[in-house]
Amino acid sequence: MVPEGRRLLGDLSVEDNLKVATYSLAKDAAAAGVARALELFPELKRLLSSQARALSGGEQQMLVLAQALVTAPRFICIDELSLGLAPVVVQRLIPVVRDVAASGTGVLLIEQFATIALGLAERAYVMEGGRILYEGTSAELRAHPEMLQSAYLLRGAAVSPEAVVSAEAVVSDAVATPGPVIQGPE
């Protein structure tokens, strides 16, 4: 799980944050997991001794993703990948999420920006008030943006499909506003 808000152990170093994430693994598996995470995010190698709270927002998001990936999960839930990040940082993270999904790890992405979510997804779900309004391929939703726009119009907000899509509470089945939910390879 990669929760919204980049929750880290701020007083610990980057290296210690990664080690904490491996607590349930055997020593060899933990070392392999950390090595894989550092391959995905080589930027973190030079920051291993830095306190987590001293990192930039983008570096913190990389660390949170790395923590989630060190255990080689079969499935990962990423809540608000792009929240508060500069577009250049988001563009750095997107290929990692794509590679993780391509490696066979299922990815559930809850994302505020429809264009990011739909660019990564194979399947998409648009939810309103806990109900699924659309379920199908991302390509179909990209080809028919009026389906996404209609979800907004049902709420009385006339916004374009490229506007912010919020689904913070989708994991707990309590979606207050519409948003695509992204699923990786099954």
pLDDT tens-digit profile of 55-78? 988 899 899 999 999 999 999 888
pTM: 0.72
pLDDT band at 27 (very low <50, low <70, confident <90, very high): very high
6 against 142, higher pLDDT: 142
| Segment 161-179 mean pLDDT | 31
pLDDT in tens, 88-129: 988 898 999 999 988 989 888 887 777 788 888 888 887 777
pLDDT in tens, 148-165: 776 655 443 333 333 333
| Tokens, residue 97 | 């999420």
C-alpha atoms less than 13 angstroms from C-alpha of 174 in its C-beta half-sphere: 2
Neighbours of 185 (CB within 10 A): 11
Angle at 84 between CA 5 and CA 127, to 5 degrees: 75
What percentage of the chain exceeds 90 in pLDDT? 33
- The pLDDT, as a whole number, for residue 157 is 39
Give the residues across from 78 on adjacent strands: 2, 109
- The pLDDT, as a whole number, for residue 2 is 66
Look over the chain and give the mean of its residue pLDDT values, rounded to a whole number.
77
Pairing of strands 180-183, 75-79: unpaired
CATH class of 75-186: alpha beta
Domain edges within the chain: 1-72, 75-186
Which stretches within 41-178 are classed as H helix? 57-69, 87-102, 114-120, 138-143, 146-154
Residue pointed to by tokens 């119009």: 153
